Amino acid sequence: MNFKSLSKLAVVAALSLSASAFAADAAAPAAAPAAAPAAEAKAAPAAKPAKAKTFSGTVVSSDAIANTLVVKNAKGEETFTLAPTTKISQGKKDVAIADVAKDQKVTVKYTEENGAKTASTVKVSAAAAKKEAKTSTAAAPAAQ
């Protein structure tokens, strides 16, 4: 091999190395944004869902327009927001917030986030409902 052949080989080798280095640099920025969302995805599950709590007591008031329920027990009075997904039941029957009356016994399962208590389920005591039904039935014949 003579000097001329070696020079050509060196130039070709240098060009191929430059091209591969350029290709690697060009690909690096494309890979970086793909890595960033992966890092964000790992950070998102760190936020734990709010733990469900329970509050039992007597209904102070219910507001079907504002979708709120105020319940009182020995510890105090709490106001709960009713979400569109809140399930309100009395025994085995689903009822509306308008059907929940003052002085009924309820158990509210809720989550608290930023100071707001959002009810997931409200169970109205069936015993209170039966007592009310007997009272209204007994009053009906007397009115006739």
The predicted pLDDT at position 126 comes to 72
Q: Write down the mean pLDDT value for the chain.
A: 75
CATH assignment at residue 134? 2.40.50.320
Does residue 71 surpass a pLDDT of 70? Answer: yes
Does residue 10 surpass a pLDDT of 60? Answer: no
Number of structural domains (the chain) is 2
Q: Tokens representing 1?
A: 């091999």
Does residue 12 surpass a pLDDT of 80? Answer: no
Strand partners, 57: 106
Mean pLDDT computed over 85-105: 94
Using alpha carbons only, how large is the chain's radius of gyration in Å?
35
Instruction: Tell me: do 64 and 125 sit in the same domain.
Output: yes
Cα separation of 57 and 53, whole Å?
14
Cα separation of 69 and 123, whole Å?
12
pLDDT tens digits, 97-120: 999 999 999 999 999 998 899 999
Spacing of C-alpha 116 from chain mean position: 13
More confident residue, 29 or 74: 74
Band of residue 51 on the pLDDT scale cut at 50, 70, 90: confident
Contact 91/127 with Cβ under 8 angstroms? no
Q: Domain range holding 19?
A: 3-46
Instruction: Tell me: do 28 and 60 sit in the same domain.
Output: no
Instruction: Write the CB contacts of 71 (distance below 8 Å, at least 6 apart in sequence).
Output: 55, 56, 57, 58, 59, 60, 77, 78, 80, 106, 108
Cα separation of 116 and 51, whole Å?
13
Band of residue 128 on the pLDDT scale cut at 50, 70, 90: very low
Mean pLDDT computed over 61-86: 95
